[in-house]
Structure 1
Amino acid sequence: MRSIILQIIDFFYQPFARFMPRQTFRYLACGGGNTALDIFLYFICYNFVLHQQMVVTPVINISAHIAALFMSMAVTFPTGFLLSKYVVFSDSNLRGRVQLFRYFVLVGICVLLNYALMKLFVDRLHFYPTIGKICTTALVVTFSYLTQKKFTFKVTHSG
């Protein structure tokens, strides 16, 4: 499966080779695909699984839009990790469980960054929400890529 994914991504890489490294393109392709999957699953869960209705449990009531968020993340968290581990940063020699823990922490930080940056851009700086989301996404994607490359899936050199 890894080989097929790499062949497809690398086929489309050629026009971008002058502008960015192959690893960056792979990150954008895998991350973009996983984000598209997340949005699609969110839409399906919110509209057709939950029927836009609150989820009532004995402990807590969860609004449909938040429940759909967690439902879609249940799929896209592991797919994002696996794509990062085996397609984008496959040269990392850290143990898998270390990578998984670091990826989990990174995703949590990215969720908080998304929230904080949207509050900053829209509520404080009065950006139009779509412009705020574009700025937020650019910053969070850059942070995520650098963190995954330098921390989550770093390559350690034995010396």
Structure 2
Amino acid sequence: MKRFILLVLDFFYQPFAKLMPLQTFRYLACGSGNTAMDILLYYVSFHFILHETPVQFSIFTISAHIAALFMAMIVTFPTGFLLSKFIVFSESNLRGRVQLVRYFMLVGICICLNYGFMKLFVEYFHIYPTISKVLTTIFVVGFSYLTQKKFTFKVKASA
């Protein structure tokens, strides 16, 4: 599967070769695919699974737009890690479990950013939840790329 994905990405990279490095293109392609899946899963969860209704637990309630955010992440966390590790940042020489822990920390920060932006956009600015999700994604993806490149999947200098 890895070879097939790389073959397809490298084929479509040719028109962009003068605009950006291969790694950046792969990140944008993989990240866009995972993000599109995230937004689709969010939309389906919010509208068709949760029916735009808050989720009631015994001692607390989670609004539908926040619950849908977490539902989508159940799928996009592992796919995002695997694409980053094996397709985008495959030259990283950090141990897999170090990458996973760092990726988990990054996702934790991204969850907080997603949560904060979604609360801000939906509850304070009264922007429609799906549009708010798209706006939130723009901010979080930029942060995520820089963090993955410089921290999560960095290449350690040989000693």
**Deviation of the 1:142 alpha carbon:** 3.4
1:150 aligns with 2:150: yes
Structure 2 counterparts to residues 13-32 of structure 1, below 5 A: 13-32=13-32
- Amino acid paired to 2:158: S
Gaps of 5+ in 1: 124-128
Report the CA distance between 1:95 and its aligned residue. Answer: 1.5
Gaps of 5+ in 2: 125-130
Query: Residues 48-85 of structure 1, C-alpha deviation per residue, up to 9 Å, x if partnerless?
Result: 11122221111321111111110001111111111000
Cα distance change of structure 1 residues 46 and 141 upon mapping to structure 2, 3 Å threshold:
closer
Q: Distance in 1 between matches of 2:105 and 2:10?
A: 29
Task: Give the superposed CA RMSD.
Answer: 2.8
Which residue does the alignment assign to 1:51?
51
User: How far is 1:113 from its partner?
Assistant: 4.4
Alpha-carbon distance, 1:111 to partner: 4.1
Query: 2:72 — aligned with what?
Result: 72
Partner Cα distance (2:26, 2:153) in 1: 14
Match of 2:85 in 1: 85
CA separation in 2, counterparts of 1:113 and 1:72? Answer: 15
Quote how far apart the aligned CAs of 1:96 are.
1.5
Residue 126 (structure 1) aligns with: none
Task: State the identity as a percent.
Answer: 65
Distance 1:64 1:142 in 2: 26
The TM-score with structure 1 as length reference comes to 0.81
